[in-house]
Amino acid sequence: MTARPTPLAFALATLFAWALFLGVLVDRAELFIAAIPLAIALLSGRRPGSLPRFDLGQEVSAERLAEGGRLAASATVMAHDPLPLVEILQPLPGLLKLHFGCNRIALSLVAGEEAHWNYELLCPARGRFTLGALRLRLWDRSGLWNAETQRTDVKQVSVYPFIAPLRHVPRPMRTQSSFGNYVAPRVGEGLEPGEIRPFVPGDRVRRVNWRASLRRGQIYVTQFHEERNADIVLLLDTLSETGERPFSTLDFSVRAGAALAGAYLARKDRVGFIEYGGYLRWLKPATGRRQRVSLVEALLPASVYFSYAVKQLDFLPAQVLPPQALVIALSPLLDRRFIDTSVNLVARGFDLVIIAVSPIEPARRVLQGSRLDELALRLWAIEWQLSVEALRRRGLAVVEWRPEVPLDAVLAPFARFRPRPAARR
Amino acid sequence: MMRYSAIVPIIILVGVPLWVAPSLPVVIVGAVAACFCGAGMLRPWRSAISVGGSLALIDYALALSLARGGLDIVGAAAFGLALSFLLDLTDFARRFRGAEISAAVTRSQIAFWLGRVAITIAVVALLCSGAAVFAYLVPLLGRPIVAGLGAAIAFAGALHGGIVRVDGNQP
């Protein structure tokens, strides 16, 4: 605890000196009398002694919540020694906003008294936040001295991205060997009828196609397509970002990634994740509820870290980026390095779909909206559109997504038909 | 709300010099002081209050030098109290601006200020009666020297007592 005189003490001392000086100068006793209240105010200051004993605790209503959720926080102060005037501040992380109440309070407690203090925070953006490093300022009554200290009762709060339900997702071109929801070209055990062929010994009687057999005069059996799952890898571009949180292109990409992960995992697919940026982070493809949680946790801290060194995807283990996987890239397509990596992946034979998050609207939100800004945005939109078209001409499947449009509506055409990739390096 | 109650000390700071000597220079300096104090009250901005307070003191000194009337103890004490309260109120408002202030804090702070007013009145009464006796004892030529010395000692004492004093229990 560090005690120090406040600027009020110096202001009082200055005025006191002025009053005395002017009193001597004009030779009038009134100015000396006027200086008496200032002198008494100065003398009434009491430097805080040793730190008074008190307990300070904080509770939060939830440790996990979704974007846009509200977090109720309550603090309790139990004074063992008198606290004449104590100011408590809970510094808020940048992205959390005060919704109700106040994160700063002034209290006056006698020994043995307890005080409660409630406030509510709005969590508009994803992330991991730390609450609980409470700053305390102990004032003397006169306001001439204060002492500062800190109490830490750390509470971690995770704010998860909003997951929009998706009915349509890009259909993978290749399937894996496990059971799933996609009708595989390979015939075998399944529900989707395929071609018919003449009966051979070993075929099951229940597979006999009686209608075709009667028409042809020979026993035919119906073949069924296998229903298989697929490997999906979400490739998140964290090399560049436009706009302000929680409406930046990266935030929209993360929300899209979380929604896609949920939709594919519901289809029994194995879903993995690669963050491609200043850091290269990944999560091996897997399925199930645990993977869903792991994916959302992995998406949570995604942010742009500037780095000159960008690691190549060639060095990733094959389990992280399986050759048969559908790679869904989430990017605003602003960094040349990510575009080159995408083209490289397609050239290596990966099934790639790029969800291009339009940077125009996020940028518009942070601009003033002047005519010059509008003109610049329109030019940028044309330029961005041209770069998307250039990628399409190279054979890449690019889905343009303006964040104001539901992702489901944008992905619907890709759920039925996908153009064959034919990328040239 | 507490911030706007500083309007009362500002009125006293401008009113007392005008009461002593209602002249144009006093009005002008008083108006400038009121502007600074008003700005300091609204912001709230301590530097403006300090400047406004200093100007109010100059205004009062100017009024006293122009008037050359009898000793006005009540007016002087009111002026000093107003100056002290103006600083206290604006500083309190500035310190806890945007914070939730519990009712106990407001209650105890008002009680503290009222206690200080009582002490001030008692000290003024004591010093004024003591000064009358002192003036009788000290010869006429020695009074300015004694006044100057007294001012310097009082300033040093208040400064030491209010700011630089270190209590025994401090590390």
Name the minimum distance, in Å, from the CA of A129 to any CA of chain B. 23
What is the arrangement of strands in the sheet containing A114-123, beginning at the earlier edge strand?
A54-60, A69-79, A114-123, A97-101
Nearest CA in chain B to A38: B84
Write the DSSP symbol of residue A320: T
Predicted local confidence at residue B170, as pLDDT: 40
C-beta of residue A120 within 8 angstroms of C-beta of residue A103:
no
* Per-residue pLDDT at B161: 65
Pairing status of strand A220-228 against strand A179-188: antiparallel
Contacts of residue A89 in chain B, CB cutoff 8 Å?
A: 99
Instruction: Identify the residue with better confidence: B159 or A79.
Output: A79
pLDDT for position A1? 65
Residues in A 100-159 with any Cβ partner in B closer than 8 A: 101-102, 104-109, 115, 117, 139, 141-144
Residue A423 has pLDDT above 80, yes or no: no
pLDDT band of B163, cuts 50, 70, 90: low
Is the pLDDT at B74 greater than 60? The verdict is: yes
pLDDT of residue A424 exceeding 60: no
pLDDT at residue A376 greater than cutoff 70: yes
- In terms of DSSP bridges, do strands B100-101 and A397-401 run parallel, antiparallel, or are they unpaired? unpaired
Bridge partners of A182? A228
Per-residue CA distances from A399 to A231, A350, A391, A421, B5 (Å): 20, 17, 11, 14, 63
Q: Which residues pair with A146 in a beta bridge?
A: A4, A139
CB < 8 Å to B120, chain A: 36-37, 40
A323 band by pLDDT with thresholds 50, 70 and 90: confident
**CA proximity to A258, closest of A301, A299, A291:** A299
Write the ipTM: 0.87
Is the Cβ pair B65, A26 closer than 8 Å?
yes
Closest of A373, A276, A374 to residue A327, by C-alpha: A276
Question: Cα A324 to chain center, whole Å?
Answer: 29
DSSP B160: I
B35 closest CA partner among B64, B55, B17: B55
Write the CB contacts of A176 (distance below 8 Å, at least 6 apart in sequence). Answer: A228, A229, A230, A231, A270, A322, A324
CB contact, 8 Å: A382 with chain B? no
Q: Please, which residues bridge with residue A73 across strands?
A: A60, A119
Q: Residue B162: pLDDT above 80? A: no
Chain A interface includes B66 (CB < 8 A) = no
In the numeric block, the tokens 């911030």 are attached to: B3
pLDDT at A350: 86
Q: What are phi and psi of B99, to 5 degrees?
A: -100, 155
The mean pLDDT value of chain A amounts to 85
Q: Say what the pTM is.
A: 0.74
- Residue among A288, A251, A258 at smallest CA distance from A273: A258
What is the pLDDT confidence band of residue A234, given thresholds at 50, 70 and 90?
very high
pLDDT at A135: 86
Angle among Cα A364, A369, A375 to the nearest 5 degrees reads: 80
The least confident of A99-108, A332-341, B82-91, B149-158 is: B149-158
The closest alpha carbon to A338, from A309, A362, A310, A306, belongs to A310
From residue B49, alpha-carbon distances to A25, A45, B26, B61 in Å are 23, 20, 19, 18
A85 touches chain B (CB under 8 A): yes
Is the model's pLDDT at A68 over the cut of 80?
Answer: yes
Whether the predicted pLDDT of A379 surpasses 90:
yes
Mean pLDDT of A262-278: 88
Instruction: Quote the pLDDT of residue A184.
Output: 72
Query: What is the rounded average pLDDT of the residues A93-114?
Result: 86
pLDDT greater than 80 at residue A60: yes
Q: How far apart are CA B135 and CA B144, in angstroms?
A: 11
The average pLDDT across A95-112 equals: 86
Tell me the three-class secondary structure of B22-88, residue by residue. Answer: CCHHHHHHHHHHHHHHHHHHHCCCHHHHHHHHHHHHHHHHHHHHHHCCCCCHHHHHHHHHHHHHHHH
CB–CB of B158 and A13 under 8 A? yes
CB contact under 8 A, A12 and B170: no
Structure tokens, A423: 């990328």
CA A128, CA A303: separation in Å to the nearest integer? Answer: 12
Cα A131 to Cα A319: distance, rounded to the nearest angstrom = 38
3-state secondary structure of A171: coil
Residue B168 has pLDDT above 50, yes or no: no
Q: Map out the domains of chain B as residue ranges.
A: 2-97, 140-171
- Across the range A304-310, mean pLDDT stands at 79
The predicted pLDDT at position B169 comes to 40
The answer to whether A218 contacts chain B (CB < 8 Å) is: no
Nearest-CA distance from A140 to chain B in Å?
10
pLDDT in tens, B82-124: 999 999 888 888 888 888 888 888 888 899 999 999 999 999 8
Least confident of A140-144, B30-34, B158-162: B158-162
**Smallest CA–CA distance from B110 into chain A, residue:** A141
A39 touches chain B (CB under 8 A): yes
Peptide bond before residue A165 is cis, with ω within 30 degrees of 0: no
A365: left (phi over 0), alpha (psi -120 to 50) or beta: alpha
**Which of B84, B89, B121, B134 should one mutate to test binding to chain A, selecting the residue with the greatest count of A CBs within 10 A?**
B84
CB pairs under 8 A between A and B: 200
According to the model, what pLDDT value does residue A245 have?
84
Residue B171: its pLDDT value, please? Answer: 34
Residue A320's alpha-carbon distances to A233, A310, A312, A390, A410, in angstroms, are 8, 18, 13, 29, 27
pLDDT tens by residue, A7-54: 888 888 889 988 988 988 888 888 889 999 998 988 887 777 777 888
Contact by Cβ (8 Å): A88, A138: no
According to DSSP, the β-strands at A351-357 and A326-331 are parallel
**Nearest by CB to A36, which of B53, B100, B127?**
B127
* Residues in A touching B102 (Cβ below 8 Å): 105-108, 115
pLDDT for position B1? 62
Residue B132 pLDDT: 76
Query: What number of other Cβ atoms are within 10 A of residue A214's Cβ?
Result: 11
Residue A422 has pLDDT above 60, yes or no: no
What average pLDDT does the segment A371-382 reach? 91
Share above pLDDT 90 across residues of chain B, in percent, rounded to a whole number = 32
